Amino acid sequence: MAAPLAGVTPMFAVCFLGFGIGKRIQQTNADDPLTMFQIFKAGMISGVFTTAIMAPGERIKCLLQVQAANTGSQIKYNGPIDCAKQLFKEGGMRSIYKGTAATLLRDVPASGMYFMTYEWLQQVLTPEGKSRSDLSAGRTLFAGGMAGIFNWLVAIPPDVLKSRLQTAPEGTYPKGIRDVFKVMMREEGIRALYKGATPVMLRAFPANAACFFGYEMAMKFLHYIAPNL
């Protein structure tokens, strides 16, 4: 738990920052409306921004989770800090950032879907003649939760590949994620790409509903205390 908890606040801050930058570079004026495809592209840019934080955090988290699952084996890592130290000692920053390309493969398209779904549902759920700031808490929670669901529909297959790569002993997959995919298809078939889908989906709705609800509340508060910024 410690590894994702340590990274979740800066990760979401960078995620929404990247999304904002992605929107701005496609606009001539700040108030220019964006198409759904432009929002998708802005979301993909946010995925690039978060990878620098996500990749090492995911590497450490996956190693600790696999270690915890193998209760009969000897404990190698005494928490996330010890894990990071050992990885650095074994292979430097390259070892800590193992799986970065796989993380990009997961987060770039999934983040595009994430923000596009949320923005589309915000538009659909906004009553005629009203603005999105008038949306009820329930509608905001629903839009955020569904954004999480669609995000993970895209993200699960590359996430499985990423986790296999990041937890494998050094040298297991010399060609990276391509080797992981080949071995998985040969030994387990296409269904292996969706292992763990049920718990992921059970988490996705409430977690992302809370995320976007918190974001909207924070934005309203900031506009209230600093309306001219």
The domain spanning residue 154 has which CATH number? 1.50.40.10
Give me the pLDDT at residue 5, please.
67
Q: Judge contact between 134 and 127, C-beta under 8 A.
A: yes
Element (H, E) at 2: helix 2-24
Cβ atoms of residues 115 and 42 within 8 Å? yes
Mean per-residue pLDDT, 191-207 = 91
Enclosing domain of residue 137? 2-225
Q: How many CB atoms lie within 10 A of CB 2?
A: 13
Q: Do 67 and 77 touch, CB atoms closer than 8 A? A: yes
H/E stretch holding 15 reads helix 2-24
Q: What's the structural domain count of the chain?
A: 1
Say if residues 85 and 13 touch (Cβ distance below 8 Å). no
Instruction: Give per-residue pLDDT as tens, 58-75.
Output: 888 888 888 877 666 678
Max intra-chain CA distance, the chain: 63
Query: What's the pTM value of the predicted model, to 2 decimals?
Result: 0.84
Tell me the pLDDT of the chain averaged across its residues: 88
